């Protein structure tokens, strides 16, 4: 193996960032403590995808909102080498000297020469909770076979190393999926553009992992640019551009220490309630609604709003629809009156009660807030303009809370930012992503780093949790490309 300072891996294609060299060092360390993982003399394809900070938009993505997303400095690396065995052997390096392993035999996802359906794959990965994390990676070849007709008749070895923390609402799952998809496509000589790749990764998370996320996370970590806010109109995924952050401004993320999951019941119930609201509005507006073959799923013929709540103007929503939406409704009553929703990713549970008015209002108003934020961000940053930007963030945070997606830790962080205020160079803060914990995004002047650190220290003193602060940015997976290694 050689001495501790030597690597058996040479870079034979692509340019290495500093964190890519750290990844190679982690791979070397794993092999020194275990055994050689990749075969000598054959290419290893490495992709990198960053985490993301949800500046504005968040859960309104599945309602067609505009979202503004910043790729973070922290990233996930996935290395793939084709293997002669008909199995996917996956190793995830958790920390120095510790790792997780999973093996998925191709016969579990390919039967009689055909890829299994997604429901079968989802059930297979759900059988073993301790190995469920492998679905994010092993779902990639299945999606490529089913959606792109890829001929994958060999197995592969995959090595994962990540600096994107899990459960903090900064898209660790999307970073893993995108890096795995990109490395896998390179190893098996498949040509995917960045947006197509991102949408395939969303499909993996929706139908194989079973998390009802929108597309913004995967598109951001695949297509984002360093130090720019990706402007994505989620209808379903139209990139409107990358907004430069004015030199005098900065965005930070502060971790609340409360674990977040888009697969959690709160996130899912709010999504269901949002689509219930859209279904009721369609009825009130006289849109044509048809049942489908799947119970609880309807088809809405909507030329007015094109299927997205975000396309309702707030004034139209308030004047014509808001007062007619129930604050809450039991699933069975909703199904009896309205047949179901138009969301193919979730199901209405008959025995469950859902909030409707607040989630629907959030979708409508959040899109308006994000549009306003994007318009205000350009040009000179006056105190008045920064105050307006900050207020839009505070409004978004309050709206999350009204939907039931707030948390004590994120509320405290937002209040600490509000208390520090413009005198400390801080103007706004909000919960991010799917809510219910995770990370708070903060807007401030570039020189406000000390104020951010002071808030982190005050939060630690109040809660006992020393929060991680996200302060940097880096390119998305497409801009990084694929690194090609060869082992000696």
The predicted-structure confidence for 215-247, as pLDDT tens digits, reads as follows: 899 999 999 999 999 999 999 999 999 999 999
Which of 175, 173, 184 lies closest to 46, judged by CA? 184
Please answer whether residues 211 and 173 qualify as being in contact, where contact means their C-beta atoms are separated by less than 8 angstroms: yes
Dist CA 29 CA 26 (whole Å): 5
Do 104 and 234 lie in one domain? The reply is: yes
With a cut of 50, say whether residue 2 has pLDDT above it.
no
Do 235 and 297 lie in one domain? The reply is: no
Torsions phi, psi for 168 (to 5 deg)? -110, 10
- pLDDT class of 128 with cuts at 50, 70, 90: confident
Dist CA 55 CA 253 (whole Å): 9
What range defines the domain where residue 110 resides?
9-245+474-487
Which of 104, 100, 112, 111 lies closest to 86, judged by CA? 104
Do 82 and 53 lie in one domain? The reply is: yes
Do 241 and 269 lie in one domain? The reply is: no
Last residue of a domain, one of 362, 379, 400: 362
Torsions phi, psi for 160 (to 5 deg)? -115, 135
Dist CA 245 CA 224 (whole Å): 13
Last residue of a domain, one of 362, 390, 415: 362
For residues 131 and 430, which has the higher predicted lDDT (pLDDT)?
430
Do 305 and 225 lie in one domain? The reply is: no
Mean per-residue pLDDT for 1-8? Answer: 65
- pLDDT class of 284 with cuts at 50, 70, 90: very high
Q: Per the domain annotation, does 172 fall within a domain? A: yes
| Predicted local confidence at residue 99, as pLDDT | 85
- pLDDT class of 261 with cuts at 50, 70, 90: low
Do 233 and 274 lie in one domain? The reply is: no
Do 233 and 294 lie in one domain? The reply is: no
Do 178 and 307 lie in one domain? The reply is: no
Q: Per the domain annotation, does 126 fall within a domain? A: yes
Number of CB atoms found within 10 A of residue 308's CB? 20
With a cut of 50, say whether residue 1 has pLDDT above it.
no
The gap between the terminal CA atoms of the chain, to the nearest Å, is 9
Do 235 and 277 lie in one domain? The reply is: no
Q: Per the domain annotation, does 449 fall within a domain? A: no
Mean per-residue pLDDT for 341-367? Answer: 98
| Predicted local confidence at residue 3, as pLDDT | 46
Mean per-residue pLDDT for 294-300? Answer: 98
Q: Per the domain annotation, does 47 fall within a domain? A: yes
Q: Per the domain annotation, does 323 fall within a domain? A: yes
- pLDDT class of 82 with cuts at 50, 70, 90: very high
Residues recognised as catalytic:
217
Do 216 and 174 lie in one domain? The reply is: yes
| Predicted local confidence at residue 248, as pLDDT | 95
With a cut of 50, say whether residue 320 has pLDDT above it.
yes
Mean per-residue pLDDT for 254-274? Answer: 85
Q: What is the CATH number of the domain that holds 147?
A: 3.30.230.10
With a cut of 60, say whether residue 442 has pLDDT above it.
yes
Do 294 and 157 lie in one domain? The reply is: no
Q: Lowest-confidence range among 121-135, 287-301, 396-410?
A: 121-135
With a cut of 90, say whether residue 95 has pLDDT above it.
no
Chain-centroid distance, C-alpha 335:
30
Query: Token pair for residue 260?
Result: 């977040």
Q: Lowest-confidence range among 3-12, 83-92, 361-370?
A: 3-12
With a cut of 70, say whether residue 401 has pLDDT above it.
yes
Please answer whether residues 8 and 1 qualify as being in contact, where contact means their C-beta atoms are separated by less than 8 angstroms: yes
Q: Per the domain annotation, does 387 fall within a domain? A: no
Do 24 and 162 lie in one domain? The reply is: yes
Q: Per the domain annotation, does 405 fall within a domain? A: no
| Predicted local confidence at residue 213, as pLDDT | 84
| Predicted local confidence at residue 262, as pLDDT | 65
Last residue of a domain, one of 362, 395, 422: 362
- How many domains is the chain partitioned into structurally? 2
For residues 314 and 264, which has the higher predicted lDDT (pLDDT)?
314
Q: Per the domain annotation, does 432 fall within a domain? A: no
Query: What rounded mean pLDDT belongs to the chain?
Result: 95
| Predicted local confidence at residue 173, as pLDDT | 95
């Amino acid at each position: 193996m050689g001495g501790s300072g030597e690597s058996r891996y040479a870079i034979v294609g692509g340019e290495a960032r500093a964190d890519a060299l750290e990844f190679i060092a982690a791979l070397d360390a794993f092999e020194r403590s275990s055994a050689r993982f990749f075969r000598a003399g054959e290419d290893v394809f490495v992709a990198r995808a960053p985490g993301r900070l949800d500046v504005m938009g968040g859960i309104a993505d599945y309602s067609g909102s505009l979202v503004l997303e910043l790729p973070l400095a922290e990233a996930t690396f996935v290395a793939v080498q084709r293997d002669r065995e008909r199995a996917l052997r996956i190793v995830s390096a958790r920390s120095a000297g510790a790792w997780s392993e999973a093996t998925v035999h191709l016969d579990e996802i390919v039967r009689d020469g055909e890829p299994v359906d997604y429901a079968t794959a989802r059930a297979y990965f759900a059988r073993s909770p301790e190995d469920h994390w492998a679905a994010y990676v092993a779902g990639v070849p299945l999606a490529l076979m089913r959606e792109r007709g890829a001929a994958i008749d060999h197995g592969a070895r995959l090595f994962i190393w990540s600096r994107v923390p899990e459960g903090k609402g900064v898209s660790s799952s999307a970073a893993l999926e995108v890096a795995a998809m990109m490395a896998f496509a390179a190893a098996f000589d498949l040509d995917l553009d960045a947006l197509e790749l991102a949408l395939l990764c969303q499909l993996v998370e929706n139908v194989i992992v079973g998390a009802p996320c929108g597309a913004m996370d995967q598109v951001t970590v695949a297509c984002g640019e360093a130090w720019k806010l990706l402007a994505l109109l989620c209808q379903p995924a139209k990139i409107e551009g990358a907004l430069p952050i004015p030199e005098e401004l900065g965005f930070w993320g502060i971790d609340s220490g409360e674990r977040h999951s888009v697969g959690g019941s709160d996130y899912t119930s709010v999504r269901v309630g949002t689509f219930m609201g859209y279904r009721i509005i369609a009825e009130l507006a006289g849109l044509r609604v048809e049942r489908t073959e799947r119970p609880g799923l309807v088809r809405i013929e909507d030329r007015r709003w094109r299927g997205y709540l975000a396309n309702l103007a707030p004034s139209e929503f308030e004047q014509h629809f808001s007062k007619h939406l129930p604050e809450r409704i039991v699933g069975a009553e909703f199904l009896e009156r309205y047949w179901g929703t138009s969301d193919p990713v979730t199901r209405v549970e008959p025995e469950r009660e859902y909030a409707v008015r607040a989630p629907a209002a959030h979708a409508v108003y959040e899109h308006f807030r994000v549009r306003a934020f994007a318009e205000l961000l350009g040009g000179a940053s006056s105190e008045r303009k920064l105050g307006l930007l900050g207020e839009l963030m505070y409004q978004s945070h309050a709206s999350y809370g009204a939907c039931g997606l707030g948390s004590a830790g994120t509320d405290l962080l937002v209040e600490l930012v509000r208390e520090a205020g413009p005198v400390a160079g801080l103007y706004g803060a909000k919960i991010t992503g799917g809510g219910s914990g995770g990370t708070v995004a903060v807007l401030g002047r570039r020189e406000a780093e000390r104020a951010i650190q002071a808030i982190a220290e005050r939060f630690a003193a109040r809660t006992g949790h020393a929060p991680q602060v996200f302060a940097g940015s880096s390119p998305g997976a497409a801009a990084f490309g694929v690194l090609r290694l060869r082992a000696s």
